[in-house]
Amino acid sequence: MKVKIGIFGSAKYELEEIKKKAQKLGEVLADFDVIFITGACSGLPYEVAKAAYKKNQTEIWGYSPAVDYQGQLMHTPNDDNSIYSKLIYTPATFELANDLKASLKYRNVISSAVCDGAIIISGRWGTLNEFTNLFDMGKVIGVLTKTGGVADLLSDLNKKIHKKSKAVVFFSDSADLLVQKVIKEIKRRKEK
């Protein structure tokens, strides 16, 4: 069974330098036989997924806050949604399905739960929410540092408010090194 790697980060476009780091991360991950898990959003996770898809037709599952494809197109009008192998929508039966803010958090929990591990790049409050989900669920987490946002704050936060968890967190400013550590730890866990 393929390893599922979540890509979580800023849904806003960042400086060109950070965007290039996201693309590099996608290219590095494309060399591994993994399934990408994203929030089917614009921004850095999309840049990572798009770069991986372009390099190696990587399998990408997008967890959308929308209830259908039309809603996804409205949510990401400038993105190429054809890169997704699978789009998973917020169920129309979810009581708050028409509340985008609630649907975004629903999506965060589900996408965090489905992946075996994840990589955080930059990010704001939503990414911090995804990190705490991953941490509480005991996942393998890689944090690509020197990308701004919460990615550059998590090391200090983790020390100050650390709690017991089965989560393993790696910090590195090298996409190559970070990906290797995350995938190695996920595979080690799967072999148990």
Residues 94-147 pLDDT 10s: 999 999 999 999 999 999 999 999 999 999 999 999 999 999 999 999 999 999
Cα distances from 12 to residues 68, 154, 155, 164, 180, in angstroms, run 22, 19, 22, 32, 27
Output helix, strand, coil percentages for the chain, rounded to the nearest 5. Answer: 50, 20, 35
Specify the pLDDT at position 192: 77
Examine the pLDDT at 76 and tell me if it is beyond 80: yes
CATH of 3-187, one of 3.30.365.10, 3.30.70.260, 3.30.870.10, 3.40.50.450: 3.40.50.450
Q: Is the pLDDT of residue 14 over 80?
A: no
Confidence class of residue 176 from pLDDT cuts 50, 70 and 90? very high
Q: What is the pTM of this model?
A: 0.94
User: Would you state the pLDDT for residue 28?
Assistant: 97
Kindly indicate the confidence band of residue 11, based on its pLDDT and cuts at 50, 70 and 90.
confident
Percent of the chain at pLDDT > 70 equals 99
pLDDT of residue 12: 81
So where are the chain's domains?
3-187
pLDDT at 184: 97
Q: Are 110 and 144 in contact (CB under 8 A)?
A: no
Residue 111's pLDDT is 97
- On whether the CB atoms of residues 115 and 6 are closer than 8 A, the answer is yes
In a 13 Å sphere around the CA of 171, the CA atoms on its Cβ side amount to 15
pLDDT of residue 133: 97
